[in-house]
């Protein structure tokens, strides 16, 4: 149902969307095979990103890079190399603010200038936005979906590489949280991250995982029927409505990894918002 053409123009819409959102927001995908997407945020960095590209190329891995506009505009050649190698490029804002904390006009600028920088480098617009810190709210999300045609992409496996800067820790965190359909979060601007990647990806390959871009992963997504839909298909005595808390538990990036791999793309109930990474979760006002 969600298997729309990959990466061409717009993300797959959510046919069953009754929340007013144009697209689902993804923390992972429900897929039939051992497919995962590895994503790298905050770059490109002319020192570290080229090394990463070589590591990925040697293994035939396609990744997704959520770039910030300031760095993308300064390194268009690097973006071209990414695109030519088959990697996907997504929007990660212009200079990494918490988007719900800036004005709508500023959020628009953050997004439009970054998409323009990406377009100038590779000749096409991104179709996914990864909000910095995972910070987003429903109003802004809807605005961004409608105005820019961008769908939100979060993550299910957080390497915390920006925080720990330690290859063993990165390895342990990724290996512990990766499930089929998962989206791994890393940052290609850190030398320790690039140093950790060969061991991480080789271990994942040895476990049978196959790397695809975010668009490819989402194209394989099979929406999980909502509980209400399952209930309507299977007549049974009146059921209690699931508590909102319980319904949203599987949708949070921070906890999705410890839940079933079959959690994600949230159906219309994507009114539930992913939590920002722990490092910024003090700001509950974000949501």
User: Could you tell me if 130 and 186 are in contact, meaning their C-beta atoms sit under 8 angstroms apart?
Assistant: no
Smallest separation, CB 94 to Zn ion (Å): 12
Smallest separation, CB 186 to Zn ion (Å): 11
Contacts of 241 (CB under 8 A, 6+ apart): none
Residue nearest to Zn ion as judged by C-beta position? 41
Give CA separation, 155 vs 64, 130, 178, 277, in Å.
12, 9, 10, 10
**The three-state (H, E, C) secondary structure of 154-221, written as one string:** CCCEECCHHHHCCHHHHHHHHHHHCCCCEEEEEECCCHHHHHHHHHHHHHHHHCCCEECCHHHHHHCC
Name the residue nearer to Zn ion (CB basis): 97 or 198.
97
Residue 21: active-site member = no
Smallest separation, CB 138 to Zn ion (Å): 21
Q: Which of 158, 187, 188, 190 is catalytic?
A: 187
Smallest separation, CB 169 to Zn ion (Å): 18
Name the residue nearer to Zn ion (CB basis): 165 or 210.
165
Name the residue nearer to Zn ion (CB basis): 6 or 157.
157
Name the residue nearer to Zn ion (CB basis): 14 or 88.
88
- Taking alpha carbons only, the member of 253, 272, 286 closest to residue 19 is 272
Taken in order 7, 65, 194, 50, the sign of the CA dihedral is: positive
Residue 42: active-site member = no
Q: Which of 21, 41, 158, 190 is catalytic?
A: 41
Contacts of 235 (CB under 8 A, 6+ apart): none
For Zn ion, the binding residues (CB under 5 A) are: 41-42, 132
Smallest separation, CB 136 to Zn ion (Å): 13
- Residues annotated as part of the active site: 41, 187
């Amino acid at each position: 149902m969600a298997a729309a053409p990959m990466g061409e123009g717009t993300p797959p819409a959510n046919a069953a969307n009754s929340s007013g959102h144009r697209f689902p927001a993804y923390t992972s995908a429900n897929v039939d095979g051992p497919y995962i997407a590895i994503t790298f945020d905050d770059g490109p960095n002319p020192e570290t990103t080229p090394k990463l590209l070589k590591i990925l190329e040697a293994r035939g891995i396609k990744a997704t890079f959520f770039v910030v506009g300031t760095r993308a505009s300064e390194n268009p050649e690097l973006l071209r190399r990414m695109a030519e190698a088959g990697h996907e490029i997504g929007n990660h804002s212009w200079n990494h603010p918490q988007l719900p904390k800036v004005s709508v006009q500023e959020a628009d600028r953050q997004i439009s200038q970054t998409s323009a920088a990406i377009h100038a480098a590779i000749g096409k617009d991104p179709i996914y936005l990864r909000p910095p810190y995972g910070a987003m709210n429903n109003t802004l999300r809807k605005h961004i979906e409608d105005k820019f045609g961008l769908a939100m992409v979060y993550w299910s496996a957080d390497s915390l590489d920006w925080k720990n800067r330690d290859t063993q820790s990165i390895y342990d965190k990724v290996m512990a949280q990766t499930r089929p359909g998962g989206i791994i979060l890393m940052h290609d601007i850190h030398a320790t991250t690039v140093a950790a990647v060969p061991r991480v990806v080789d271990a994942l390959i040895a476990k049978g995982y196959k790397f695809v871009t975010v668009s490819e992963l989402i194209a394989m997504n099979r929406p999980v029927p909502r509980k209400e839909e399952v209930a309507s298909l299977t007549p049974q005595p009146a059921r209690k409505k699931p508590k909102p808390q319980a319904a949203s538990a599987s949708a949070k990036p921070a906890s999705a990894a410890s839940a079933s791999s079959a959690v994600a793309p949230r159906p219309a109930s994507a009114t539930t918002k992913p939590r920002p990474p722990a490092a910024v979760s003090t700001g509950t006002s974000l949501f």
